């Protein structure tokens, strides 16, 4: 009973209550295994509260007690807490190593399904942050299979995690499909803040002010006062800053994004901080706030030095390039973003480089950088970014060519996204949604969302009508 009450309190943001329940439980006479489990949950609550030193000490005690009991769950949870500590300071290699240890301890026991699924999700996030995605498709398949067995909370978390993954890779329509596949938002601050943050951010980039406002309103009253909220607030802060910049309020945009500059004890654990700091540097310089730009640049470099990762090195290079007006540093950052498939960050760095080349009257390189940036923005349907890039480069006489990728229509076969095209052709082959889900590493619910989108875009009423339309657009192979 102590475990259930404490875990429920933790999931609903009442960590103090959770610690009281756990302390009472630990004071009672318990079987060794349950004592170890309550210790491991205590460590988790302490970690969420950023009581780092205490959490690590408690986790070590839980692991020792779990091995003595023996209780694999307690050991796995203790290792999970230690992995969170590494993640909070940006050490994704250390995080990933501890996750793998925990997964080995837990094995395939169904009793440990929830913790195992959480660890696998965190493993995928670590791989994405490290830009090391070899084998990630197999892990995604396993996570989706386990999520269907684990219940609503983990099911929601998996969809939100996949949406964040697709967002970083520039597959924004796939990200939206993942989020639309969630029937209702279960408890959990990660899912709540990340879902609304991503929906607001994508809408903002696409200049859909109405949709962005709806999702920003959903989180507008959130104070982000507790550690778990700050950790998951990155997309919300980016969306708020974008809305202010779009409305011509650069100083307010800086203020909205400035929470990433909190002290290391409260700021370093924020997810996607490496995305926020370059944007804060750019916005601060635009607002004439060099002090904030310098602070953002210094913190970005410090984070890259403390926990080296290619994407953090690229973020630091972008900050330095902006601060020092050095377009070559920005091209260095762009090269990593290009190789890693990080489409939005690539376009942002190229846009910045184009501005600085324009300042230096190097119009040839300015035009080349702008043209590639606009091509990526067009691919993303990031209409706001296109307008901003044109406005920033126009004073220097930088004109992009008229050639470029045509914007995708909103109806008809040509309006289908790459994933929707694959789904449509598999539907035409007579495959069921479960078969399509297995072939494309998607959940059944996400496949149904894609099928619904296809029906609307084609003005079709059945799968057979999709098949008839697909027959007019043959492909050589469909995986």
Per DSSP, the residues of 424-444 read HHHHHTT--HHHHHHHHT--H
- Asked if the model's pLDDT at residue 226 lies above 90, the reply is no
Question: What confidence category does residue 185 fall into, taking pLDDT thresholds of 50, 70 and 90?
Answer: low
Alpha carbon distances (Å) from 152 to 17, 80, 354? 24, 21, 46
Confidence tier at 407 by pLDDT (50, 70, 90): low
Return the pLDDT at 465. 81
Phi, psi of 46, deg, nearest 5: -65, -40
**Backbone dihedral region for residue 46 (phi beyond 0: left; psi -120 to 50: alpha; all else: beta):** alpha
pLDDT at residue 436 above 80? Answer: yes
Please check the confidence at residue 412 and state whether its pLDDT lies above 70.
Answer: yes
What digits encode the pLDDT tens for the residues 326-356? 999 999 999 999 999 999 999 999 999 999 9
Cis, bond preceding 70 (omega within 30 deg of 0) = yes
Q: What is the CA radius of gyration of the chain?
A: 24
Q: What angle do CA 276, 298, 124 make, to 5 degrees?
A: 45
Phi/psi for 121 (5° steps) reads: -60, -45
What average pLDDT score do residues 422-436 get?
A: 88
141 CA to centre of own chain = 18
State the Cα–Cα distance between residues 334 and 330, nearest whole angstrom.
6
The percent of residues in the chain predicted with pLDDT above 70, rounded, is 92
The torsion of the CA quartet 461, 462, 468, 471, rounded to 10 degrees, works out to 110
CA 292/CA 285 separation, integer angstroms: 8
Q: How far apart are CA 244 and CA 239, in angstroms?
A: 9
Neighbouring C-beta atoms of residue 209, cutoff 10 Å: 14
Contact 202, 242 (CB under 8 A): no
Give the integer Cα–Cα distance in Å for 185 and 153: 8
| Alpha helices (runs of H) in 325-382, residue ranges in sequence order | 327-340, 343-359, 363-380
Contact present, 119 and 82 (Cβ < 8 Å)? no
Give the whole-angstrom CA distance, residue 451 versus residue 321: 44
Average pLDDT over the chain reads 89
User: What pLDDT score does 177 carry?
Assistant: 93
CATH code at 413-471: 1.10.10.10
**Mean pLDDT throughout 388-396?**
97
pLDDT of 222: 61
Lowest model confidence (mean pLDDT) among 48-52, 110-114, 236-240, 357-361:
48-52
pLDDT value of residue 29: 82
pLDDT of 405:
57
Provide the residue ranges of all domains of the chain, joining segments of one domain with +: 2-150, 162-396, 413-471
| Fold matches, 2-150 and 413-471 | no
Task: Pick the more confident residue, 411 or 372.
Answer: 372
Lowest mean pLDDT: which of 119-133, 174-188, 343-357, 443-457? 174-188
Predicted confidence band at 292 (pLDDT cuts at 50, 70, 90)?
very high
Check pLDDT > 70 for residue 365.
yes
Higher pLDDT, 302 or 226: 302
In this prediction, residue 435 carries a pLDDT of: 84
Tens of pLDDT, residue by residue over 129-160, are: 999 987 787 888 888 888 877 766 678 888 89
Interhelix angle 152-168/189-205, rounded to 10 degrees, is 30
Of the ranges 125-129, 289-293, 362-366, which one carries the lowest mean pLDDT score?
125-129
Confidence at residue 224, expressed as pLDDT on a 0 to 100 scale: 64
pLDDT of residue 187: 53
Residue with tokens 């079987």: 31
Q: Under DSSP, is residue 171 helix (H, G, I), strand (E, B) or coil?
A: coil
Helix, strand, coil fractions of the chain, as percent rounded to 5: 75, 0, 25
162-396 CATH fold: 1.25.40
Q: What pLDDT is recorded for position 221? A: 66
For the ranges 29-33, 47-51, 265-269, 454-458, which has the lowest average pLDDT?
265-269
**For 105-123, what is the mean pLDDT?**
91
Distance CA 127, CA 186 (A): 26
CB burial string 371-380: b at 16+ within 10 A, e below:
bbbbbbbbbb
Q: Please compute the mean of the pLDDT values over residues 50-75 and round it to a whole number.
A: 95
Q: Closest Cα to residue 254, out of 226, 213, 286?
A: 286
Whole-number Å distance between alpha carbons of 393 and 248: 17
Contact present, 257 and 273 (Cβ < 8 Å): no
CA 140 to each of CA 64, 418, 461: distance values in angstroms, whole numbers, following the listed order: 32, 19, 31
User: 270 to each of 84, 162, 169, how far by Cα in Å?
Assistant: 12, 18, 20
CA geometry: angle 370, 274, 156, nearest 5 deg: 105
What does the alpha-carbon distance between residue 197 and residue 180 come to, in Å, rounded to a whole number?
Answer: 14
Q: What is the model's pLDDT at position 267? A: 44
Is pLDDT at 403 greater than 70 in this prediction? no
pLDDT > 60? residue 404? no
Class of domain 2-150: mainly alpha
In angstroms, rounded to a whole number, what is the distance separating the alpha carbons of residues 307 and 304?
5
For the chain, the distance separating the N- and C-terminal CA atoms, rounded to the nearest angstrom, is 48
Decide if 142 contacts 313 (C-beta within 8 A): no
């Amino acid at each position: 009973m102590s475990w259930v009450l404490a875990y429920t309190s933790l999931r609903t943001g009442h960590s103090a209550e959770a610690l009281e329940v756990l302390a009472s439980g630990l004071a009672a006479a318990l079987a060794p295994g349950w004592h170890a489990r309550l210790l491991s949950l205590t460590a988790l609550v302490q970690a969420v509260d950023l009581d780092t030193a205490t959490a690590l000490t408690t986790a070590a005690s839980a692991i020792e007690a779990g091995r003595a009991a023996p209780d694999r769950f307690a050991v796995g949870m203790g290792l999970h807490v230690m992995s969170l500590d590494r993640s909070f300071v940006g050490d994704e290699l250390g995080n990933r190593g501890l996750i793998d240890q925990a997964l080995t301890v837990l094995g395939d026991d169904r009793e440990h399904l929830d913790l195992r699924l959480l660890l696998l999700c965190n493993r995928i996030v670590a791989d994405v942050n490290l830009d090391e995605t070899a084998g990630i498709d197999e892990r995604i398949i396993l996570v989706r299979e386990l999520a269907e067995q684990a219940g609503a909370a983990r099911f929601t978390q998996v969809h939100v995690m996949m949406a964040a993954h697709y967002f970083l890779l520039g597959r924004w329509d796939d990200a939206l499909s993942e989020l639309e596949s969630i029937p209702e938002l279960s408890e959990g601050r990660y899912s709540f803040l990340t879902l609304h943050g991503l929906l607001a951010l994508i809408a903002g980039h696409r200049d859909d002010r109405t949709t962005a406002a709806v999702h920003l309103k959903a989180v507008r009253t959130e104070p982000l006062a507790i550690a778990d909220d700050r950790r998951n607030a990155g997309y919300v802060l980016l969306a708020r800053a974008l809305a202010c910049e779009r409305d011509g309020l650069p100083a307010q945009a800086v203020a909205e994004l400035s929470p990433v500059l909190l002290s290391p004890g409260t700021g370093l654990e924020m997810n996607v901080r490496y995305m926020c700091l370059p944007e804060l540097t750019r916005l601060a310089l635009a607002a004439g706030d060099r002090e904030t730009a310098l602070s953002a640049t210094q913190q970005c470099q410090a984070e890259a030095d403390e926990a080296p990762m290619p994407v953090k090195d690229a973020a630091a290079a972008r900050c330095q390039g902006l601060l020092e007006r050095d377009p070559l540093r920005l091209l260095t950052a762009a090269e990593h973003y290009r190789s890693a498939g990080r489409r939005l960050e690539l376009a942002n760095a190229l846009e910045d480089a184009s501005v600085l080349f324009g300042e230096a009257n190097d119009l040839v390189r300015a035009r080349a950088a702008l043209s590639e940036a606009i091509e990526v923005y067009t691919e993303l349907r990031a209409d706001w970014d296109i307008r901003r890039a044109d406005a920033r480069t126009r004073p220097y006489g930088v004109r992009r060519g008229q050639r470029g990728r045509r914007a995708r229509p909103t109806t008809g076969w040509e309006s289908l996204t790459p994933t929707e095209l694959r789904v449509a052709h598999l539907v035409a082959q007579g495959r069921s949604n479960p078969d399509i889900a297995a072939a494309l590493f998607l959940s059944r619910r996400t496949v149904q969302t894609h099928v619904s989108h296809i029906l609307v875009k084609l003005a079709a009423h059945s799968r057979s009508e999709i098949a008839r339309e697909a027959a007019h657009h043959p492909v050589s192979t469909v995986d």
